[in-house]
Amino acid sequence: MEINKKYPKCETTDTTVPVYGKCDDKFQAVRDAFLANFAESGEVGARVTVIQGEETVVDLWGGYIDEDKTQEWREDTLVNTMSISKGITAMAAHLLAERGLLDYEAPVAKYWPEFGQAGKDKITVRQLLSHQASLVYAEDAEPGDALDFDGYSTKLAAQAPNWEPGTSPAYHSMTIGFLVGTLVKRIDGRPIEQFIREELVEPLQADYILGCTDEDVKRVAPTIFNPENEMMSGGLINEKTMPCFKLLPPDPMFFATPLHWKSVNPSSSGVTNACGIARLFAPMANGGTFNGAKLYSPETIAAMSEVQWHEQDSLFGNEFRVTMGFLLNIDFNYYGREGNVGSAGAGGFVGFADSENHLSFGYTPVRMTTGSGIGNESKRIIDALYASL
């Protein structure tokens, strides 16, 4: 069913919300869940996209990009999807492995010699990609280092492991993008933002930008803080994790500013929307190929999807199932099905691939979701998707 005009009325309530896009008849439950988020959960604006095989079966966007509800969400609206950036950066590394340029079992220092300093010479690419390098912060980090890709990467290269590598896995929230991004740059020669643009974004025709220009910024909607988002209001930054975030500028709203979007921070500064996310994950759902681009072999997809550890994170305390660069389905990062692999960003941004059903999924709200993990709004839509199959 094509939706080329506003819904005259949200069908489950008296709330009227501007919604555009398309939704195949089989997936009407997804549309209903999308609308219910506005009516029942205070959704301000969002987009959801589902691709099955080569076909986009759901692509809905609606609501507004501001709390005053004066500016509608448009088809070209982008949001900063936070840690979704980590997954896209990992895709770049796996492309190099696919081409025989990167060995998962090799020491990182083979490709990035400076990384071998301070007792890190034996840390492998596999450990680095799977958040087992024990390098969650640089002790000499200063506020603003998040804006200096090369500078902070140099500090990480000189830093001793924060604890014995491989002994206690922990989500490298602020460092993994700098580490993997520099690894890609050292092997290929291109800056990570250029590699992602030329090798992933352009072949897949995905609207994803790492390092916005002034013109790009005009399309980005600032994230709206939600006090009912447990991860952001309930202790993401605490005494134990504080050193990880020392590299950030002092502005508490930094992530919602052009300063962040224009930076090259492969851990968190990428901007995109649900359609861009679904297109980037589509090859992983379809045997390595999408939009005529053959990116990964079945062997590489298996490597991207294989669990490396499943336990409570030693730093943030959440239970994770972690692969080389991605997160597997679990309550905290809920993707609807046991084998699904994806990425999630603080605030409710979600992207995943389902290779069994050949589905890729993206969800991007402008207002942080409620609850914990990916949030209640994301879960509602994902449950509706799987109820439709």
- Separation between Cα atoms, residue 111 and residue 185, nearest integer Å: 10
More confident residue, 382 or 232: 382
Asked if residue 232 belongs to a domain, the reply is yes
Report residue 15's pLDDT band, with 50, 70 and 90 as the boundaries. low
State in Å, rounded, how far the first CA of the chain is from the last one. 17
In a domain, 12, yes or no: no
- Report phi then psi at 210, rounded to 5: -110, 110
Long-range contacts at 332-336 (CB < 8 A, ≥ 24 apart): 332/372, 332/373, 332/374, 333/373, 333/374, 334/373, 334/374, 334/378, 334/379, 334/382, 335/361, 335/382, 336/382, 336/383, 336/385, 336/386
Distance between CA 349 and CA 346 in Å, rounded? 7
How many independent structural domains does the chain possess? 1
User: pTM for the whole thing?
Assistant: 0.95
**Per-residue model confidence (pLDDT) at position 126:** 99
The pLDDT tens digits of the residues spanning 355-384 come to: 999 999 999 999 988 776 788 999 999 999
CATH code of the domain covering residue 342: 3.40.710.10
How far apart are alpha carbons 134 and 150 in whole angstroms? 20
Domain-embedded: residue 117: yes
pLDDT in tens, 281-306: 999 999 999 999 999 999 999 999 99
In a domain, 20, yes or no: no
- Average pLDDT on 327-342 reads 93
From 275, 294, 283, select the one nearest 354 (Cα to Cα). Answer: 283
Mean pLDDT of 82-109: 99
Confidence band for 11, pLDDT divided at 50, 70 and 90: very low
Mean pLDDT of the chain: 93
Average pLDDT of span 147-173: 96
Give domain status of residue 42, yes or no: no
Determine the average pLDDT of the residues in 41-69.
97
Residue 201 lies in a domain: yes
Q: Which one is predicted more confidently, 255 or 239?
A: 255
As a whole-number percent, the residues of the chain with pLDDT over 90 amount to: 84
Residue 283 CA to residue 120 CA, distance in Å, equals 33
7 falls within a domain: no
State which residues form the domain around 377.
78-387
Q: What is the pLDDT of residue 8?
A: 42
Task: Give the separation between CA 245 and CA 226, rounded to whole angstroms.
Answer: 20
Kindly state the average pLDDT of the residues 79-98. 98
The answer to whether position 23 is within a domain reads no
